[in-house]
Chain A
Amino acid sequence: MSYLPHTEADVKAMLEAIGVERVEDLFQDVPESVRFPELDLPAALSQMEVAWLLENMSDENLPGGKTAIFLGAGTYNHYIPPVVGHIIQRGEFLTAYTPYQPEVSQGTLQAIFEYQSMITQLTGMEVSNASHYDGATSLAEAAIMSYSHFRGKRSKLVLCSGIHPEYRDVVRTYMQGMDVEIVGDESCWVDMDKLVEHIDDNTAMVAVAYPNFFGEVDPIEKAIQAAHEHGALAVVVADPISLGLLKPPGWMGADIVVGEGQGLGIPMSFGGPFLGIFATREAYVRKMAGRLVGETKDKDGKTGYVLTLATREQHIRREKATSNICTNQGLMALSAAIYLSVMGKHGLRQVAELCYHKSHYAADEIAKLDGYKVFRDKPFVKEFVVECPLPVEEINAYLLENYSIIGGYDLSKRYPERERQMLIAVTEMNTRDEIDTLVRALAEVAE
């Protein structure tokens, strides 16, 4: 009962004040037939015992930090500067609620305002919201926003197959109650010329990825332009670390940029909590879901920050709101703000360049091996596809068993035509030694 402060005397005095005899008397409204059920749950443990138990569970895992990891596919092993973890664990940030009372929440509000500012710069867009749950739900919110933008009169959504398969799953989950047709991701290969053939005057949204799920940088301007020719909204799913190097989608005319912000100082943590980036043009700000922080003045004329445009949100609009989003990922947005501050203009570029050089070195070395083919028709930043002489699962088992290397993503899991294709991610965390060992191991397993 570690966290309960009540003494027996407290309980007694409080019950007396309330005018009941026993604690149980407070629950007379609960139907007797179901009141106070027997629970088949373990007994309480001390904090020390809980720590042992959970440490044991964590020891059953092989974390990326203890071994070389070449797995990406939307979640990346990037460096997290120590300041990020230290600052987000401050109780003032960690244990605060949504900043509904701005006078006692200026810390959270200003940090989100700074996050919004840095995300607009990174994506090249005019406004960013305070974040969504993850990259997948950001894309789903973009789909809903596009659909509502045309008041339901356009019912087609075009999704490129180069978007993370799970993001496309989530769009389908979110849209199942709406009368929409989702097309464009039937093929296992990404071809902008073929994608734009799906776009017509009934299209509400065209979404592409940059870089795509296979790590490739597609000529996304083609899709953006085609979307605009038909009056549809162009959505780009972007990787924020790659944007340290690449032209931002905003410069190419994107209407909405979404992305997974995990790379910005957030641990991989088995897939969550992550950070859903969402940025758009100022013209669409009132149609955007999610929390938004704006600058204003207090009574004395001092600059301060508040949640703004709440009239878009569910607690005001209820059933007329286009999204039910309530919380954002406040602490993760804070992580990204700290990360982008400490990395700054030069650091982020360096991270992106390190990924670029190391992944190209790995690709070059693997391309020299017999039986392996590296796909390099398109440029890439930190991830590339290799066709292997054996099923990817077999290769990964070999890498793990003999070298404790966590190999790349088996593309055949979600792209059946991509048999024996491995998606390899190389970040600033991978040393040349690790890459050389991977290459050696790949050569061995193919022998």
Chain B
Amino acid sequence: MTEPLIYDLSSPGRKGIQMPAPDVPLAELPQDLLRDELDLPEVSEIDVVRHFTRLSQMNHGIDIGMYPLGSCTMKYNPKLNEDMARLPGFAALHPYQPLDTVQGALEVIFNVQEWLKELGGFAAVSLQPAAGAQGELAGVLIMRKYHLDRGDTKRNKMLIPDSAHGTNPASSSMSGLHVVEIPSDDRGNIDLEALRAECDDTVVGLMLTNPNTLGLFEEHLEEVIELVHGCGGLMYGDGANFNALMGIMRPGDIGFDVMHFNLHKTFSTPHGGGGPGAGPVGVAEHLVDFLPGPIVEIVEEPESEDELPVYGFVTPAKSIGRMKAYYGQFGMLVRALSYMLVYGGEGLRRVSEMAVLNANYLRVKLNDTYHVPHDRISMHEFVCEGRFDDAPDIHALDISKRLIDYGFHPPTNYFPLIVHEALMIEPTETESKETLDQFIEAMKAIAREARENPEVLREAPHTAPIKRLDEVGAARNLVLCCRPVNLPEPTAK
């Protein structure tokens, strides 16, 4: 199954829309500024609808089937959230409208801040960051500025475990910091000795994903925090795996100074084929002044119970600045609030409990077929090896591709880097036991095929719209658009 490009459906003179005729006198166009050519498709509305509908049919989404993509928390995205974000009273608001015409929007922002503060155990939260990676960047900039503000200018070293997401070291480099990698021990925890050796007065902090990317809760968390705080460093929490912790532990309570949340993971906002995300950042009391702004505060308490408070925007005193234009990914904030309200505080704890239950159920059902190098009670995900000693030609990638034929999206593969042929499996709490059992059956069938009929794995997928693609060729012979553009030669040095 392939679909032509929208340009290939184009016919000169065909139109997809009729705009109204001008209802004002025509002004003279500035001819010397105008373009004489704009090569966009010329298609009818039904061409557009069918084209993109057919494209959609070439995708796997959570709405179609289980999506156990580790570290991405592909849980069900409730439809209610979509309706709420699309209410005209939210969707048609201009960000610069007078504040008295957007009090409801500010109330949404304020409420999301309050929920996240309480869930994370933080003194304040800024919803500015547009995605997890941007939340990280905000967090790192906050840590950096905190030290500088105290006149502690020699701190330039960020400690990052070898199991971390690539965004952690990248965010640190972007902030002008020097990255030092800390190895993991054989139980999947941070190697305490290695950490101790790096803890000195140049440490900005430690960026810790907890549970880590093996799905394991750091067993020496209190010692780790003590070491980092002991040398004057700050603890950064990567909230990518917060789906394991709601109502289970508040990172702020145990000593995390900063953490970002991923609303598109934990709080069910849709991933949209790669964004928009939303990556709010929460901080402990001593970092409140450094948060990216603006944030929403109550600027006038109500005089009686029947009245509403007046909300306003406030920029923290020593703010690192703005992360993006306006106030964060507002539409995503509405969705997250809609999600949290449905569950309530106790329900969110149940979410984390069921996420962890599902992951452990899969782990114990699969660990006799797939080697789990760190086989202890995990949190919301676990990592196994996608390889077999007696089927040496089979790789994690082959297993992943074969899962597609069984109707499942593949797990994350080849991450974390510290596990050989890693398959990182995160079922999330919204999968039922029946679905999990089907997944277990599929994984076991694939393990049998790996021995009996390895070719069927290496050639997989067989049912997808397309076979395995030549990714090396794509990078070597770059074709990034379907229409040529001719430019003057670059003159920059």
Contacts and interface: CB of A to CB of B under 8 A. Distances in A.
B97 A272 contact: no
Interface string A80-119: 0101011111111111111101111111101111101110
A44 B276 contact: no
A121 B39 CA distance: 6
B353 to A, nearest CB: 5
* Most B C-beta atoms less than 10 A away, residue of A66, A112, A315: A315
Interface in A15-48: 15, 17-20, 23, 26-31, 34-37, 39-47
B345 A43 contact: yes
B41 A341 contact: yes
A354 to B, nearest CB: 6
Contact of A41 (B67, B248, B249, B344): B344
Contacts of A324: 133-134, 136-137, 167, 170-171, 174
Contact of A298 (B19, B175, B468): B468
B118 A41 contact: yes
Nearest to A363: B27
Interface in A274-311: 274, 281-285, 291-300, 302-306, 308-311
B96 A73 contact: yes
B392 interface: no
B327 A269 contact: no
Contacts of A296: 469-471, 473-474, 479
B377 interface: yes
Contact of B16 (A113, A305, A343): A343
A349 B33 CA distance: 14
B25 interface: yes
B474 A295 contact: yes
Interface in A322-360: 322-332, 334, 337-338, 340-351, 353-354, 356-358, 360
A155 B337 CA distance: 43
Given A44-B343, A130-B274, A303 B2 contact: yes
A83 B45 contact: yes
A170 B67 contact: no
A42 B347 CA distance: 10
A318 B170 contact: yes
B306 to A, nearest CB: 14
B199 interface: no
A184 B270 CA distance: 40
A50 interface: yes
* Most A C-beta atoms less than 10 A away, residue of B43, B364, B493: B493
B241 interface: no
A3 B348 CA distance: 11
A97 B74 contact: yes
| Size class of the contact patch on chain A | 35 or more
Interface stretch (B228-236, B297-305, B383-391, B483-491): B483-491
A272 B324 contact: yes
A300 B467 contact: yes
B101 A101 contact: no
Interface in B301-327: 308, 320-327
A332 B276 contact: yes
Given A103-B467, A294-B479, A324-B136, A91 B61 contact: yes
B102 A270 contact: yes
B432 interface: yes
A330 B273 CA distance: 5
Interface in A388-423: 396-397, 400, 406, 409
A253 interface: yes
A320 B165 CA distance: 14
Contact of B464 (A104, A281, A320, A329): A104
B418 interface: no
A172 B141 CA distance: 12
Interface residues of B, number: 204
Given A173-B292, A308-B471, A269 B330 contact: yes
Interface in B261-281: 264, 268, 270-278
A64 B89 CA distance: 8
Contacts of B370: none
B473 A327 contact: no
B337 A54 contact: yes
A232 B492 contact: yes
Given A315-B166, A344-B43, A103 B433 contact: no
Given A118-B40, A338-B48, A177 B175 contact: yes
Contacts of B3: 110
Contacts of A431: 23
Contact of B94 (A14, A114, A406): A406
Contacts of A250: 485, 487
A350 B18 CA distance: 9
A195 interface: no
Given A19-B364, A298-B468, A331 B179 contact: no
B197 interface: no
A323 B174 contact: yes
Given A4-B430, A268-B91, A361 B24 contact: yes
Contacts of A58: 84, 87-90, 104
Contacts of A248: 35
Contacts of A64: 92-94, 97
Interface in B133-186: 133-134, 136-137, 141, 144-145, 165-167, 169-177, 179
Contacts of A347: 15-17, 19
B357 A11 contact: yes
A432 interface: yes
Contacts of B7: 114, 117
B247 interface: yes
B104 A59 contact: yes
A124 to B, nearest CB: 6
A298 B470 contact: yes
B343 A178 contact: no
Contacts of B104: 56-61
Contacts of A260: 325
Contacts of B247: 36-37, 39
A113 B482 contact: yes
Contacts of B328: 271-272
B69 interface: yes
A189 interface: no
Given A50-B341, A60-B107, A134 B94 contact: no
A2 B42 contact: no
B76 interface: yes
A3 B41 CA distance: 41
Nearest to B171: A324
Contacts of B338: 50, 54
Contacts of A30: 217, 248-249
Interface in B434-493: 459, 461, 464-471, 473-475, 478-483, 485, 487-488, 490-493
Nearest to B109: A270
Contact of A169 (B5, B322, B400): B322
20 contacts: A3-B78, A4-B354, A5-B432, A28-B377, A54-B337, A63-B93, A77-B92, A87-B52, A97-B69, A117-B483, A122-B40, A137-B130, A270-B326, A272-B330, A298-B470, A328-B274, A331-B276, A332-B276, A349-B38, A397-B98
Given A94-B270, A274-B325, A285-B480, 13 more contacts: A27-B217, A47-B342, A75-B94, A88-B272, A99-B273, A103-B466, A247-B35, A270-B93, A271-B95, A296-B470, A296-B479, A327-B264, A327-B277
Q: Which 7 A-B pairs have the closest CB atoms?
A: A271-B326, A58-B89, A91-B63, A41-B345, A177-B176, A331-B272, A231-B493
